[in-house]
Amino acid sequence: MQVNSLLNRLFSSWSGAPGMFLGFSLLGLVSQVRAQEALRQQDSLYIRENYTKLERQISVRDGVKLFTSVYIPKNTSRQYPILLNRTPYGVAPYGEDKFKTSLGPSRLFIREGYIFVYQDVRGLWMSEGQFVFVRPHIANPKKQEIDESTDTYDTIEWLLKNVPNNNGKVGTWGISAPGFYATASIIDAHPALKAVSPQAPVTEWFLGDDRHHNGAFFLMATFAGFSMNYGHPHPAPTNVRPPAFAAYGTPDAYQFFLKMGPLSNFEKQIFKGGNTVWPSLMAHETYDEFWRSRTPLPHLKNVKPAVLTVGGWFDQEDLYGPLKTYDSIGHKNPKATHHLVMGPWFHGSWSRTDGDYFGNIPTGSKTAAFYQEAIELPFFNHHLKGQADPQLPNAYIFETGSNQWKKYDQWPPKGSTEKRIYLRPGGKLAFEPPTGSQSSHDEYVSDPNKPVPYTAEVRITRGSEFMVEDQRFAARRPDVLVYESEPLTDDLTISGNVSADLFVSTTGTDADFVAKLIDVYPDDAPDDGRSPAVKMGGYQLLVRGEVMRAKFRKSFSRPEALIPNEVSEVKFDMQDAAHTFRKGHKLMVQVQSSWFPLVDRNPQQFLNIRQATEADFRKATHRVHFSASQPSHVRVRVLAK
C-alpha cells in the first residue's frame, strides 16, 4: 500500500477531534508509516531480484491438482529448506511474473535463505476439488481418501522431488485458518517435516473459536466471514475474490443485527439459498458429530516435528486454539519438542505490528519484534538449517500488567495455586468466601430487545480492541452486575486458567451468562496510553471475558432447560491469562446476559435458537446468588511471589 493511501486511511478512521489527533504524535506516526513503507519497498525489490517464482499444479493421491506458488533463491551455491504455507485466502498475486512483497512468517526470513511455498487449499482459488471448512481428519485413510493431512503429505513429497536445491527439510506455518492447516500437517506428518508453527490456529468451532464460545453463537464474525468470500459458491479454479457483503445500510452493527431479528431471518432476507455454509451452521445447534469431527485435537498423537504454537492474549478470534493445541500435544506427547508463545497481541498482530501497544495500553517494548528475532526465526533456523539451538523454554509468556516476558518449564507454571474470587453482597469482591446460611442475591432484568453491547464504539465490523476496552460503558447499565475489590496492597499475578462458577436462577428457561474479569486502574492513574484522549484514571481494563449458554451447563451435546426460579450452578471456561494487577489497582467482576452483536441474542426460552421467531424473545429476571452454600465466584491461578 502506498504511504499516502495508508495515511489517508488512518486519518479518515480517526473519530476524535483534530486537536486530539495531534496529541497522538502525528509526526511520529507519519515517520513510522513512511519507514514501514520504505522497508516494504526494499523487501519487494529484493524478492524480485533474488528469487525465481514458479507456479505448479501438484497432483495429490486422488488425482486432484493443488495450485502452488514456489519462490526459489536464485543463488544455487547452496541448498535451502522449504517453508510451506497452505491457505484458503489465496496465494495472490497469480502469474509467474508477479511477486509477493513479503515472504515467510516475517520479513526476517526473506534474506535468510529459504524456499517459500504457498498453496491454495483444495477447492478454493486455483486449486481443484471440493472445499470443506475445517475438513475432518480421517484416521487410517484408505488409498484415495484425503484430508488436510494427506494433502500436505503429498505436497511435501512432490516438493522434495521436484524443487531444486532443497535440503530435504520442510517447515509449515500459518496464522488463523492457515494455522489450522499447519496443525493438520503435524498429524501423520511426512518424515521430512521437521518444524511446524500453528499460530492462532482455528481449532474448535463450538467450544471456543470463531463460531461459538461455550455453545453461544458468535454472530457478528460468522456473518461477516460467511456472507462474503467463503459462504458463496466458489468454483475453482478462479483467482477472483467473491464480493464482500456491503448492504448493511448503517455504520452501526448493533442497529443492523437487532433490526435483522432472529437468526432464521438471515436466510430469508439475505442469503436466499445462495450461501453454501450458513445453512450447515444453522443445522447444528448442539455439539454433535458435525462439530466434534472438525477439531484436530484428538489426533495430535505421535508428534514428530518440533512445534512452536503461538497466540495473543487479546486475540479476538482464536485465543482458544493455541492454548488447547499446546495442551493437547503436551498431554499426548510428553517427549515431543513443543513450545508455547503467548504475547500481548490481537489476532496475528505479532506478524504485522511492533507489538509496543495492545489497544491504548503500552507494553513497554517492541514485543512482536522480539518474538520474530529471538524466538520464531531461531526456531526455524535451528530445526531446518541446523543452526544453534536457541534454548527456548517450554512456555515463553508475556505477562501483561508487569510487562515482562517470562520463561516457564510448563504452562500453567509450577508454583501457581488456584484462588477463588467471590462475589459478595453490596457489589463487593473478595478472596474470602461468604459465610452464614442466609441466601443472598443480586438480580437484573435482561431484555433481548435491548441487549448489552459488546463495545461502546459505533462500528460495523467486529474489530479487535474491544478485548481491552474500558468497561465503564457496560458497568453503568442496570442489566450488568458489578463487583469490586478493595485496592490491592501488593501486586497480584495470575498465570493460568480463568473460569467462572455462578449460582443463578431465572424466570425463563434458558439464559446466557457473560463473566468479565477486569483490572481497575486507580482514579489518579496517569494518561500514559497511546492516545491522550483515553483517560486512564479509573480505567476498567478487560483482562478476560467469556460467555456461557446455560442450557449447555451439563452437556454441550444434550442441552437442558433451566427450571424457572430454581437455582442452578453454571460453570464455564474463560480461557487462560497472564496478568499482574498492580498495587493500588482493584479487581472487578461484571456479570451480564448479552454481549451483542458479538454473540447472538438468547430468547431466554429453551428452544432451538436457530429456529426462534420474534415472539420467542422475552424479558427475564436473572439472579446471581452468593452464600456459603451458593458461592458464585471466578477461579484464577495466582503465581507465588
Look at 42-51, 259-268, 378-387, 522-531 and tell me which has the smallest mean pLDDT. 522-531
pLDDT at 106: 97
Q: Answer whether residue 127 shows pLDDT above 60.
A: yes
Q: Structure pTM?
A: 0.93
Residues 614, 261 contacting (CB under 8 angstroms):
yes
pLDDT at 532: 85
Q: What is the pLDDT of residues 315-324, one digit of tens each?
A: 999 999 999 9
Which three three-digit cell numbers place residue 116? 517459500
Confidence band for 195, pLDDT divided at 50, 70 and 90: very high
pLDDT at 10: 42
Q: What is the pLDDT of residues 567-608, one digit of tens each?
A: 999 999 999 999 999 999 999 999 999 999 999 999 999 999
Domains and CATH numbers, the chain: 3-204+294-408 (3.40.50.1820), 416-639 (2.60.120.260)
Phi, psi of 154 (to 5 degrees): -65, -35
Q: What is the mean pLDDT of residues 128-143?
A: 94
Q: What is the mean pLDDT of residues 506-517?
A: 98
* Residue 521 Cα to chain centre, angstroms: 26
Confidence band for 35, pLDDT divided at 50, 70 and 90: confident
pLDDT at 18: 34
pLDDT at 28: 55
Q: What is the pLDDT of residues 56-108, one digit of tens each?
A: 999 999 999 999 999 999 999 999 999 999 999 999 999 999 999 999 999 99
Report the chain's mean pLDDT, rounded to a whole number. 93
Q: Answer whether residue 552 shows pLDDT above 90.
A: yes
pLDDT at 8: 44
Written in H, E and C, the secondary structure of 251-269 is: CCHHHHHHHHCCCHHHHHH
* Residue 330 Cα to chain centre, angstroms: 21
Q: Answer whether residue 32 shows pLDDT above 70.
A: no
Q: Answer whether residue 15 shows pLDDT above 50.
A: no
Q: What is the pLDDT of residues 459-479, one digit of tens each?
A: 999 999 999 999 999 999 999
- List Cβ neighbours of 107 (8 Å cut-off, separation of 6 or more): 39, 43
Confidence band for 437, pLDDT divided at 50, 70 and 90: confident
Distance (Å, rounded) from C-alpha 138 to C-alpha 380? 28
Q: What is the mean pLDDT of residues 604-618?
A: 97
Q: Answer whether residue 166 shows pLDDT above 70.
A: yes
Alpha helices in 422-498 (DSSP H): 472-475
